[in-house]
Structure 1
């Protein structure tokens, strides 16, 4: 893996287990519960200029990463709720690179999205903990990938997403 590839995917790309077990799900849900606090720990004591640091050339700043996680996880939470209340909904993708440049991202304090993440992840983890195996088997269709994702797989993907961007923040703040 090249240095740039390592910086882009510091924990590697998401690898779906062949069989998703309750152990996987418990670990993934724990990540969802812990994520806002782990982000808060990373941001504790950072200076205003630290929020402008990036994890790689052309990568997002720490500020953009925090806001991106809030944006992405809001979308994911809605996808979960749609999947639980509709039959295999086709979800709506969004242009995350463009969202990362909007005024609410580049000019709002990270604390706003951190508070959003705390509330959102509390609700999301509560929802995830209540799901039974038939709920976790429910799916949504992602038109960009032309693929169905079960809620069990999506839980793993967002566990990875949390850890992936947390590592980006750590790398950026060390630079």
Structure 2
């Protein structure tokens, strides 16, 4: 297994179908529960365990998901309300080194992710085919990203990080 990409890298081939979008929305909806289950019972040094050599700790991964998904939710709203807005990138690696990510209790981020995903799913379920074709411009990658592509990316993103945590737990149990 690739420790950096335990479920592989995100890739999208072909046109996104309504069935695929529904599956991705379901994954976004289920992420808070899956994330909670993945960290259940972990404490102290276990939460400080890196998910891989040179990687973030489990605490940092949980807080990163909150930071990342908040940014994505706002990007969706910008794309829905503006004409291909240019979004503001952020330094996720620097965010992960701030005190609220390094050693802070994960419960606030777990609660935030739960509530954010409720709002996000409500929004996603209301979108039309036309809405999913709206886009934003990412100045760092110099790409225009459509919301249907971005939806898939964030469904993958949550699964990707839960897999990191589960792999770290498996290593701890050996």
CA shift for structure 1 position 107: 2.7
CA shift for structure 1 position 47: 2.2
After superposition, give the CA deviation of every residue in 1:41-85 in whole Å (9 maximum; x if it has no partner).
Answer: 111111221101112111011000000000000000000000000
Question: Residue 30 of structure 1: SS of its match in structure 2?
Answer: helix
2:71 maps to 75
1:165 maps to 161
2:112 maps to 116
1:153 maps to 149
Residue segments in structure 2 that go unaligned for 5+ positions in a row: none
Question: Residue 62 of structure 2: SS of its match in structure 1?
Answer: helix
Aligned counterpart for 1:102 among listed residues 58, 79, 98: 98
Residue segments in structure 1 that go unaligned for 5+ positions in a row: none
* Alpha-carbon distance between aligned partners in 2 of 1:123 and 1:24, rounded to the nearest angstrom: 20
1:13 maps to 9
* Alpha-carbon distance between aligned partners in 1 of 2:141 and 2:101, rounded to the nearest angstrom: 26
Question: Residue 7 of structure 1: SS of its match in structure 2?
Answer: coil
The answer on whether the counterparts of 1:61 and 1:172 sit within 8 Å (CA) in structure 2 is no
2:34 maps to 38
The answer on whether the counterparts of 2:59 and 2:103 sit within 8 Å (CA) in structure 1 is no
* Alpha-carbon distance between aligned partners in 2 of 1:55 and 1:111, rounded to the nearest angstrom: 19
The answer on whether the counterparts of 1:77 and 1:124 sit within 8 Å (CA) in structure 2 is yes
Question: Residue 162 of structure 1: SS of its match in structure 2?
Answer: helix
After superposition, give the CA deviation of every residue in 1:69-110 in whole Å (9 maximum; x if it has no partner).
Answer: 000000000000000000000000000001000011113101
* Alpha-carbon distance between aligned partners in 2 of 1:143 and 1:156, rounded to the nearest angstrom: 20
TM normalised by structure 2 equals: 0.96
- Moved >2 Å (runs of 4+): none
* Alpha-carbon distance between aligned partners in 1 of 2:13 and 2:150, rounded to the nearest angstrom: 12
